């Protein structure tokens, strides 16, 4: 069965970086895009960007360009998202989500990773 499992919660100081992992299993990793979605405390869902696990190409939402880097490792079926120059506003739960057939919706989600930025 399809599973998407994310790394655990992180606490970081302002100015630091964090790298979150998202390991996929139960399907052909390179056949489906992976997205990242942010949810600030008490807020809604915000699409951050997409990575094509087949070739590593990425597209980021304009709001997140410059501060986010998405990569993948096909040998371990894992995608990563690195956030740099963290500020308190980056405190949120970050989800990876698989792009469903035709890549227009998200059919399987990771459990979420809470990133807390605090001095």
Residues forming the site for other proteins (CB under 8 A):
35, 37, 44-47, 50, 59, 61, 95, 97, 100, 102-107, 109-112
Q: Which one, 105 or 118, has the nearer CB to other proteins? A: 105
Spatial separation of the C-alpha atoms in residues 94 and 46, rounded to whole Å = 10
The residue (of 2 and 11) whose beta carbon lies closer to other proteins is: 2
Q: Which is nearer to other proteins, 50 or 83 (CB)?
A: 50
Q: What is the C-alpha to C-alpha distance for residues 104 and 101, in angstroms, rounded to an integer?
A: 7
The least distance separating other proteins from the CB of residue 27, rounded to whole angstroms, comes to: 14
CA distance 77 to 83: 20
Cβ of residue 5: shortest distance to other proteins, in angstroms? 11
Alpha carbon separation from 73 to 23, 24, 29, 56, 76 (Å, rounded): 10, 11, 10, 9, 6
Least distance to other proteins from the beta carbon of 89, Å? 18
Distance CA 59, CA 100 (A): 17
Token pair 């986010």 is at which residue? Answer: 68
Minimum distance of other proteins from residue 79's CB (angstroms)? 16
- Comparing CB distances to other proteins, the nearer of 31 and 75 is 31
């Amino acid at each position: 069965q399809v599973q998407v499992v994310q790394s655990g919660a992180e606490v970081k100081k302002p100015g630091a970086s964090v790298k979150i992992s998202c390991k996929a299993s139960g399907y052909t990793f390179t056949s489906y895009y992976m997205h990242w979605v942010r949810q600030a405390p008490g807020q809604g869902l915000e699409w951050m960007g997409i990575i094509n696990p087949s070739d590593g190409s990425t597209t980021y939402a304009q709001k997140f360009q410059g501060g986010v880097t998405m990569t993948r490792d096909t040998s371990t079926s894992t995608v990563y998202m690195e956030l740099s120059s963290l500020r308190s506003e980056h405190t949120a739960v970050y989800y990876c989500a698989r792009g469903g057939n035709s890549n227009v919706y998200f059919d399987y989600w990771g459990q979420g990773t809470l990133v807390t930025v605090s001095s």
